[in-house]
């Protein structure tokens, strides 16, 4: 019943065309469906990974976690219900809309809509083609990438995501923001160092950032140059202390950051939890006045 990966993200935004411009021309995703109200994007063999819908939230509107099969979904549903979590099942229309075989819906302790599903649609007959010439994104069993979830109470969120959903702790970074130390808990559900991170940060968004990992350093460099021309870079190139990823950060039109990186180190069952007191080994210098993680 273990969650296997972060399968997709949905955003409710005020400016769909601006998001489309960033995701395609800037970051190299392929747009597969688009109008002024909604747009879908892919970055691998899956039919879609990112959905952007017109709305007033300017925030993430749902996240999709993937399990292996019907039995896993049934077992996880039972576990959620037994722990007092309200779960919506049998939504045939939602499953059809997401292109999955079955799906359940719930919210985390602080109101973030979560969808858990199995049987996502593959589109091998339509190979992914990046409009920006990106050589490829690292997904497969590691999933879409990662998100950093902003929550009021990290320990309550940790209990939900680890004890109920089954995520495991990778490490902790105690990040200094002025006189305040903010602990960030990094969680994994597959070989990616972290699929989810939890922190309590002074910001209004549900997530601080989301991350795409590409297959070459050149992909990172070319994207940096493209977004630098648009004055969208918020953090310079740098290397994180925990997952060793070389990356930069850029701002989306909704005030959520996106990390774009390469060569994050994988983890396995022999991994030991450690603590870090700095977010980056080098770089990641702020270029705009926003809270960076």
Interatomic CA distance for residues 206 and 253, integer angstroms: 15
Which CATH number do you get for residue 18?
3.10.180.10
Please compute the mean of the pLDDT values over residues 9-24 and round it to a whole number: 98
* Region class of 243: left (phi > 0), else alpha (psi between -120 and 50), else beta: alpha
Per-residue model confidence as pLDDT tens digits over 132-156: 999 999 999 999 999 999 999 999 9
Question: What confidence score (pLDDT) does residue 164 get?
Answer: 98
pLDDT value for 290: 55
Question: Which token pair is 203?
Answer: 């910001």
Domain count, the chain: 2
The dihedrals phi and psi of 157, each to the nearest 5 degrees, come to -65, -40
**Do 147 and 186 fall into the same domain?**
yes
**How much is the pLDDT for 292?**
42
pLDDT of residue 291: 46
- Whether 233 and 114 share a structural domain: no
Full residue range of the structural domain in which residue 252 is found: 140-283
Same domain, residue pair 193 and 62: no
Mean pLDDT of 5-15: 98
Q: Are residues 152 and 268 in the same domain?
A: yes
pLDDT at position 293: 42
| 88/145 same-domain check | no
Percent of the chain whose pLDDT exceeds 90: 92
Q: What is the pTM of this model?
A: 0.97
Residues 6+ apart with CB under 8 A from 241: 173, 276, 278, 279, 280, 281
* Residues 149 and 250 both lie in one domain: yes
Q: Residue 1: its pLDDT value, please? A: 60
In a domain, 252, yes or no: yes
Task: Give the model's pLDDT for residue 36.
Answer: 79
Same domain (yes/no): 148, 276:
yes
Quick one: average pLDDT of 210-229? Answer: 99
- Contact assessment for residue 240 and residue 184, using Cβ atoms and an 8 Å cutoff: no
Q: Is residue 223 part of a domain?
A: yes
Inter-CA distances, 220 with 46, 238, 245, 247, Å: 22, 11, 11, 7
pLDDT of residue 274 exceeding 70, the answer is yes
Query: pLDDT-derived band of residue 35, with 50, 70 and 90 as boundaries?
Result: confident
């Amino acid at each position: 019943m273990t969650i296997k990966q972060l399968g997709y993200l949905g955003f409710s935004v005020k400016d769909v065309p601006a998001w489309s411009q960033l995701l395609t021309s800037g970051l190299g995703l392929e747009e597969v469906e688009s109008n002024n109200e909604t747009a879908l994007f892919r970055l691998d063999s899956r039919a879609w990974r990112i959905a952007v819908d017109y709305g007033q939230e300017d925030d993430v509107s749902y996240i999709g976690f993937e399990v292996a099969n019907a039995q896993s979904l049934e077992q996880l549903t039972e576990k959620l219900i037994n722990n007092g979590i309200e779960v919506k099942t049998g939504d045939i229309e939602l499953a059809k809309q997401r292109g999955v075989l079955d799906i359940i819906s719930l919210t985390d302790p602080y109101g973030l809509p979560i969808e858990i599903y199995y049987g996502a649609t593959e589109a091998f007959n339509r190979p992914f083609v990046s409009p920006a010439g990106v050589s490829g994104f690292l997904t497969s069993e590691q999933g879409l990438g990662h998100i950093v979830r902003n929550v009021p109470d990290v320990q309550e969120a940790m209990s939900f995501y680890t004890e109920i959903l089954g995520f495991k702790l990778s490490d902790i970074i105690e990040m200094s923001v002025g006189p305040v130390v903010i602990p960030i808990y990094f969680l994994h559900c597959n070989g990616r160092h972290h699929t989810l991170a939890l922190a309590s940060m002074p910001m209004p968004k549900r997530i601080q950032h989301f991350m795409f990992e590409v297959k070459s350093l050149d992909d990172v460099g070319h994207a940096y140059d493209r977004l630098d021309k648009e004055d969208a870079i918020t953090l310079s190139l740098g290397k994180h202390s925990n997952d060793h990823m070389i990356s930069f950060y850029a701002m989306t039109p909704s005030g959520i950051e996106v990390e774009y990186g390469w060569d994050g180190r994988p983890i396995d069952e022999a991994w030991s939890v450690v603590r870090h007191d700095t977010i980056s080994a080098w770089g990641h210098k702020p270029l705009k006045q926003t809270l960076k993680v």
